[in-house]
């Protein structure tokens, strides 16, 4: 994932020639708070002090010197009216824009050396904007002016070592964006997979619509059965992809991101194909193991199977990749075995940006309440998404399954104020967020479709007009419950209920925006196939296109709402709305529009 670069050797030479660190030690004790929680994040409880000799990998994110230039480039290559549209950046060009300033590197290296840490053992990202170094709890507490404790997550019975606050020497604040693990409590077991088994929902063992999907007697309308039981043929008919056969299968790829203990199962996929996509029987997907991820075929995951069965079910024969990201096991209170940070989300992100070739489309179906993610952490993760988008990858995220917010909808800033609860990464402006629909002829918003407005990220210019129009129509309703100037989501939507998924050999009905995101990803992957087959660049970051010329090629969803927080939530309506976004895809119209 990381490697020590020549810059490290040069840096060490520079340090050897500089003044002794002891003469500068005073400034390392001049702390300023970087991030602090007012209360233990909900769902977690204090278990006890962390053992001082416990060691972990500390990740230090250095300020990216030319990140504003990267964002400028991202919007230029993603804007269909700009002369640079489609001229995506290379891995090396991105690295040059996000590399830290030499002053930042020198200061951080001096700080680490002042704490007697072995710089030669540190690892650097390709761009040099991340430094990873092994530290003990005692060292970390001294470096960050804090106290680490063991916390337990009640629902998953998972333990992590975290801190309620951390500080940095004031001289480092403008040079260091983030230190991890510190105040981000989320782990993959406490994050929400945005899917759920629909207990008692209808199931079918084979698809009666397959014979009529293509050919002279192809479906003129979407079968009424698709209102309750979704299969690939339903989605291919509904979103008009059934007549398209991918041809750029040597270049185009579709990625699905999976996390701790969620394994896609090949036997289940084969059973799924036999029942619902017979022409794909005997095809499969590639598993890429990230950071010790597994591929246990005896433990099929509902989330993983849902994702891979529907990305392949729509995009076949496009190659699909399932990224199984491991991360370290959770901390065990009675065993002080050294481990990593137990933050597999960062593990996957740092892995993927270091790859030379990245799938043109990637879908992810996990998320947290935005307020549970420290702002500095969320910003840094969101910035990584900008890097991927600038390289020509479309990133799709599920919008969540709690409407405008689940649970008590209380702020965690010490005020316990009632408010809508936006989700992250759905709220990041550099990703395309997918909400949920249900029924056919017409589609309507599904009532759990996550949607709202970020409290961390400002509204980006690409959606300003559409969101302003919606807010004007909304008036003063829900005033004070959401940040009307924040990044609004979802951007688009797709079916989210009644998906027929094979798990352990049996068909299981599954719902959630976890179904919506891979569905939309499948359609985008087909569009990328079309573009690549014509010698054109893939779509990359979608949103500037979606909110401009592509809006007319989407099916506007005008009814339904997403209740939550004791309210009826937002309502779908004409144009963009924070329930279904701009609408669901029409492949034939999008393909024609892209030429």
Residues 6+ apart with CB under 8 A from 98: 64, 65, 66, 67, 70, 127, 129, 383, 387
Q: Is 18 in contact with 152 (CB distance < 8 Å)?
A: no
303 is catalytic: yes
Element (H, E) at 489: strand 486-489
- Find the catalytic residue in 514, 516, 561, 571: 514
Beta pairing class for 452-458 and 432-438: unpaired
Q: Is 268 marked within a binding site?
A: no
In this structure, is the dihedral angle defined by the CA atoms of residues 541, 430, 93 and 373, taken in order, positive or negative? negative
Alpha-carbon distance of 496 to 284, in angstroms, equals 24
268 is catalytic: no
Strand order in the sheet with 123-124: 123-124, 130-136, 55-62, 176-180
β-sheet bridge partners, residue 517: none
DSSP E strands, 5-85: 31-36, 44-49, 55-62
Task: Name the CA dihedral angle for 174, 179, 185, 186, rounded to a multiple of 10 degrees.
Answer: 90
- Find the catalytic residue in 303, 401, 466, 529: 303
514 is catalytic: yes
Place of tokens 């070592």: 161
Alpha-carbon distance of 248 to 530, in angstroms, equals 7
- Find the catalytic residue in 158, 307, 368, 376: 307
**What DSSP line would sit under 307-335, residue for residue?**
HHHHHHHHHTTS-EEEEEE--PPPPBTTB
Q: Is 314 marked within a binding site?
A: no
Max intra-chain CA distance, the chain: 83
Q: Is 557 marked within a binding site?
A: yes
Alpha-carbon distance of 548 to 567, in angstroms, equals 32
Half-sphere exposure of residue 59: CA atoms within 13 angstroms, side-chain side? 25
Point out the annotated binding site.
556-557, 575, 577
Binding site for Ca(2+), by residue number, is 556-557, 575, 577
- Which are the catalytic amino acids? 303, 307, 514
């Amino acid at each position: 994932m990381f490697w020590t670069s020549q810059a490290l050797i040069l840096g060490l030479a520079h340090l050897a020639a500089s003044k002794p660190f002891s003469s500068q030690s005073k400034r390392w004790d001049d702390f300023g708070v970087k991030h602090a929680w007012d209360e233990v994040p909900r769902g977690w409880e204090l278990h006890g002090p962390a053992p001082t000799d416990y060691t972990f990998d500390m990740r230090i994110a250095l300020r990216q010197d030319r990140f504003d230039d990267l964002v400028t480039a991202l919007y230029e290559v993603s804007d269909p009216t700009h002369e640079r549209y489609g001229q995506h950046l290379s891995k090396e060009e991105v690295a040059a824009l996000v590399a830290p300033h030499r002053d930042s590197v020198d200061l951080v290296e001096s700080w680490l050396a002042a704490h007697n840490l072995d710089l030669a053992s540190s690892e650097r990202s390709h761009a040099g904007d991340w430094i990873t170094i092994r530290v003990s709890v005692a060292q970390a507490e001294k470096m960050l002016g804090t106290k680490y404790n063991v916390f337990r997550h009640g629902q998953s019975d998972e333990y992590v070592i975290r801190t309620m606050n951390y500080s940095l020497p004031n001289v480092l604040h403008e040079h260091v964006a983030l230190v991890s693990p510190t105040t981000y409590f989320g782990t993959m077991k406490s994050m929400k997979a945005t899917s759920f088994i629909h207990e008692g929902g209808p199931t079918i063992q084979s698809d009666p619509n397959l014979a009529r999907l293509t050919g002279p007697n192809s479906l003129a309308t979407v079968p009424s059965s698709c209102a309750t039981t979704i299969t690939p043929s339903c989605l291919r008919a509904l979103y008009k992809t059934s007549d398209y056969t991918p041809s750029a299968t040597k270049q185009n790829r579709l990625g699905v991101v999976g996390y701790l203990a969620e394994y896609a199962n090949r036997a289940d996929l084969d059973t799924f194909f036999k029942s619902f996509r017979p022409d794909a029987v005997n095809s499969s997907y590639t598993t890429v193991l990230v950071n010790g991820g597994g591929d246990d075929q005896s433990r099929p995951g509902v989330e993983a199977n849902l994702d891979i069965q529907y990305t392949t079910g729509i995009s076949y024969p496009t190659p699909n990749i399932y990224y199984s990201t491991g991360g370290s096991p959770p901390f065990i209170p009675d065993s002080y075995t050294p481990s990593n940070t137990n933050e597999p989300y960062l593990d996957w992100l740092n892995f993927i940006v270091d790859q030379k070739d990245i799938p043109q489309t990637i879908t992810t179906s996990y998320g947290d309440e935005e307020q549970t993610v420290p702002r500095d952490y969320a910003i840094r993760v969101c910035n990584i998404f900008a890097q991927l988008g600038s390289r020509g990858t479309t990133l799709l995220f599920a919008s969540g399954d709690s409407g405008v917010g689940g649970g008590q909808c209380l702020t965690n800033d010490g005020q316990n104020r009632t408010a809508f609860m936006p989700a992250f990464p759905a709220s990041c402006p550099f990703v395309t967020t997918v909400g949920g629909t249900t029924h056919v002829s017409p589609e309507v918003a599904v009532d759990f479709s996550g949607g709202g407005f970020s409290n961390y990220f400002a509204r980006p210019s690409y959606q300003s007009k559409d969101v302003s129009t919606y807010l004007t129509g909304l008036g003063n309703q829900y005033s004070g419950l959401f940040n009307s100037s924040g990044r609004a989501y979802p951007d688009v939507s797709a079916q989210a209920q009644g998906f027929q998924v094979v798990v352990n050999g049996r068909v299981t009905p599954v719902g959630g925006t976890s179904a919506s995101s891979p569905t939309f990803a499948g359609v985008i992957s087909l569009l990328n196939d079309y573009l690549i087959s014509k010698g054109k660049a893939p779509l990359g970051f979608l949103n500037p296109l979606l909110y401009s010329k592509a809006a007319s090629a989407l099916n506007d969803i005008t009814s339904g709402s997403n209740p939550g927080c004791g309210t009826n939530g937002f309502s779908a309506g004409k144009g963009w709305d924070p329930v279904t976004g701009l609408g669901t895809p029409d492949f034939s119209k999008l393909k024609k529009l892209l030429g």
